[in-house]
Structure 1
Amino acid sequence: MARPPQPALFLDAPPAGGGLARAREHVPEDSLLPAPPARLACAHLPAFPLQVLLRRRPELRGAPVAVLRREGPQAEVLWASQAARRRGVARGMRCAAARSLVPELHAEPVPEDILEEAADELLRALLRRSPRVEPCLDPRGAFWLDPSGLERLQGDLPTWAGALRRDLEALGYAAGVAVGFTRFHTLALARHGSLTAPLVLASPAEEAARVGAVPLAALDLSPVLQDTLEKLGISTLGGFLALPAADVRTRLGSAAAALHARASGREHAPLRPSQPEDPPEVALEIDPPDDDRERLLFALKEPLACLLRQVCTGGDALVELRLTLELDHEDPAVTTVEPAAPLQAEPDDLLQLLDLLRLRLDGLTLAAPVKRAVLVGLGARARAEQLALLRGRGRDLAAAARALARVRAAFGEQAVTRAALRSAHLPEASFAWEPVSEVTCPIVHDLPANHHEALAAPPLCRRLLPRPVPLPRRDEADEHWLAASGLVRGAVVRMAGPYRVSGGWWAREVERDYYFAETSHGDIAWLFYDRPRDRWYIHGILD
Structure 2
Amino acid sequence: MARPSQPALHFQAPPASLGSARASAHVPEDSLALDPPARLACAHLPAFPLQVLLRRRPELRGAPVAVLRREGPQAEVLWANQAARRRGVARGMRCAAARGLVPDLHAEPVPEDMLDEAADELLRALLRRSPRVEPCLDPRGVFWLDPTGLERLQGDLPTWAGGLRSDLQALGYTAGVAVGFTRFHTLALARHGSLSAPLVLASPAEEAARVGAVPLAALDLAPVLQDTLEKLGISTLGGFLALPAADVRTRLGSAAAALHARASGREHAPLRPSQPDDPPELALEIDPPDDDRERLLFALKEPIACLLRQVCSGGDALVELRLTLELDHEDPAVTTVEPAAPLQAEPEDLLQLLDLLRLRLDGLTLAAPVKRVVLVGLGARARAEQLALLRGRGRDLAAAARALARVRAAFGEQAVTRASLRSAHLPEASFAWEPVSDVTCPIVHDLPANHHEALAAPPLCRRLLPRPVPLPRRDEADEHWLAASGLVRGAVVRMAGPYRISGGWWAREVERDYYFAETAHGDIAWLFYDRPRDRWYIHGILD
Q: Please give the range of the TM-score, normalised by the shorter of the 2 chains.
A: 0.7 to 0.9
CA change 1:2–1:294 in 2 (3 A) is farther
CA change 1:497–1:106 in 2 (3 A) is farther
Most deviating of 435-444 and 107-116: 107-116
The Cα offsets for residues 109-167 of structure 1, whole Å up to 9 and x where unpaired, read as 65543432232233234445655533211222222345678899999988877776676
8 Å contact from structure 2 (residues 53, 110) kept in 1: yes
CA change 1:388–1:22 in 2 (3 A) is closer
CA change 1:103–1:493 in 2 (3 A) is farther
**How far apart in 1 are the matches of 2:16 and 2:93?**
83
Please state whether the residue corresponding to 1:134 is helix, strand or coil. strand
Cα drift, residue 407 of structure 1:
1.4
Cα drift, residue 498 of structure 1:
3.6
The Cα offsets for residues 77-101 of structure 1, whole Å up to 9 and x where unpaired, read as 6556678878987655788999999
Unaligned runs of 5+ in 2: none
Most deviating of 76-85 and 274-283: 76-85
Cα drift, residue 495 of structure 1:
3.7
Q: TM-score scaled by structure 1?
A: 0.78
8 Å contact from structure 2 (residues 23, 238) kept in 1: no
Please state whether the residue corresponding to 1:24 is helix, strand or coil. helix
8 Å contact from structure 1 (residues 12, 23) kept in 2: no
Equivalences for residues 321-332 of structure 1 within 5 A: 321-332=321-332
Most deviating of 407-416 and 105-114: 105-114
Cα drift, residue 360 of structure 1:
1.5
Please state whether the residue corresponding to 1:496 is helix, strand or coil. strand
Most deviating of 244-253 and 6-15: 6-15
8 Å contact from structure 2 (residues 290, 370) kept in 1: yes
Most deviating of 363-372 and 221-230: 221-230
CA change 1:63–1:384 in 2 (3 A) is closer
8 Å contact from structure 2 (residues 482, 491) kept in 1: yes
Cα drift, residue 397 of structure 1:
1.1
**How far apart in 2 are the matches of 1:223 and 1:338?**
46
The Cα offsets for residues 198-240 of structure 1, whole Å up to 9 and x where unpaired, read as 7677876776555434332331223443233223211222211
8 Å contact from structure 1 (residues 11, 23) kept in 2: no
The Cα offsets for residues 253-302 of structure 1, whole Å up to 9 and x where unpaired, read as 54333322332344454544432111111111112222222222222111
8 Å contact from structure 2 (residues 324, 334) kept in 1: yes
Unaligned runs of 5+ in 1: none
**How far apart in 2 are the matches of 1:57 and 1:333?**
33
**How far apart in 2 are the matches of 1:127 and 1:326?**
28
Q: TM-score scaled by structure 2?
A: 0.78
**How far apart in 2 are the matches of 1:272 and 1:105?**
40
Most deviating of 215-224 and 149-158: 149-158
Aligned counterpart, 1:259? 259
Most deviating of 29-38 and 391-400: 29-38
8 Å contact from structure 2 (residues 281, 377) kept in 1: yes
Most deviating of 432-441 and 477-486: 477-486
Most deviating of 153-162 and 214-223: 153-162
8 Å contact from structure 1 (residues 500, 512) kept in 2: yes
8 Å contact from structure 1 (residues 10, 25) kept in 2: no
Please state whether the residue corresponding to 1:499 is helix, strand or coil. strand
Please state whether the residue corresponding to 1:335 is helix, strand or coil. strand
**How far apart in 2 are the matches of 1:142 and 1:540?**
48
Most deviating of 79-88 and 453-462: 79-88
Aligned counterpart, 1:470? 470
Most deviating of 130-139 and 199-208: 199-208
Please state whether the residue corresponding to 1:114 is helix, strand or coil. helix
8 Å contact from structure 1 (residues 40, 181) kept in 2: yes
**How far apart in 2 are the matches of 1:60 and 1:276?**
30
8 Å contact from structure 1 (residues 11, 21) kept in 2: no
The Cα offsets for residues 456-489 of structure 1, whole Å up to 9 and x where unpaired, read as 4422211111122233344455444433332233
**How far apart in 1 are the matches of 2:474 and 2:490?**
15
Aligned counterpart, 2:64? 64
Most deviating of 69-78 and 443-452: 69-78
CA change 1:526–1:172 in 2 (3 A) is closer
Equivalences for residues 154-169 of structure 1 within 5 A: none
CA change 1:455–1:398 in 2 (3 A) is farther
Aligned counterpart, 1:193? 193
Cα drift, residue 249 of structure 1:
4.6
Aligned counterpart, 1:209? 209
**How far apart in 1 are the matches of 2:259 and 2:217?**
14
Most deviating of 51-60 and 370-379: 51-60
Most deviating of 426-435 and 166-175: 166-175
CA change 1:57–1:504 in 2 (3 A) is farther
**How far apart in 2 are the matches of 1:205 and 1:215?**
18
Most deviating of 95-104 and 392-401: 95-104
**How far apart in 2 are the matches of 1:475 and 1:21?**
79
CA change 1:428–1:180 in 2 (3 A) is closer
8 Å contact from structure 1 (residues 7, 25) kept in 2: no
8 Å contact from structure 2 (residues 339, 353) kept in 1: yes
Structure 1 position 306 matched with structure 2 position 306 = yes
Most deviating of 489-498 and 339-348: 489-498
Most deviating of 121-130 and 220-229: 121-130
**How far apart in 2 are the matches of 1:402 and 1:439?**
10
CA change 1:331–1:22 in 2 (3 A) is closer
CA change 1:324–1:533 in 2 (3 A) is same
Larger relative contact order (C-alpha < 8 A, sep ≥ 6)? 2
Cα drift, residue 346 of structure 1:
1.6
Please state whether the residue corresponding to 2:18 is helix, strand or coil. coil
Cα drift, residue 351 of structure 1:
1.6
**How far apart in 2 are the matches of 1:15 and 1:231?**
23
8 Å contact from structure 2 (residues 68, 78) kept in 1: yes
8 Å contact from structure 1 (residues 9, 26) kept in 2: no
Cα drift, residue 442 of structure 1:
0.8
CA change 1:510–1:88 in 2 (3 A) is farther
8 Å contact from structure 2 (residues 26, 265) kept in 1: no
Percent identity, aligned pairs only, is 94
Please state whether the residue corresponding to 1:21 is helix, strand or coil. helix
8 Å contact from structure 1 (residues 280, 378) kept in 2: yes
The Cα offsets for residues 480-537 of structure 1, whole Å up to 9 and x where unpaired, read as 4433332233444444444333444444444434333333433333233444444333
8 Å contact from structure 2 (residues 31, 204) kept in 1: no
8 Å contact from structure 2 (residues 11, 244) kept in 1: no
8 Å contact from structure 1 (residues 360, 409) kept in 2: yes
**How far apart in 2 are the matches of 1:12 and 1:82?**
41
Most deviating of 291-300 and 51-60: 51-60
**How far apart in 2 are the matches of 1:22 and 1:220?**
24
Which has more radius of gyration?
1
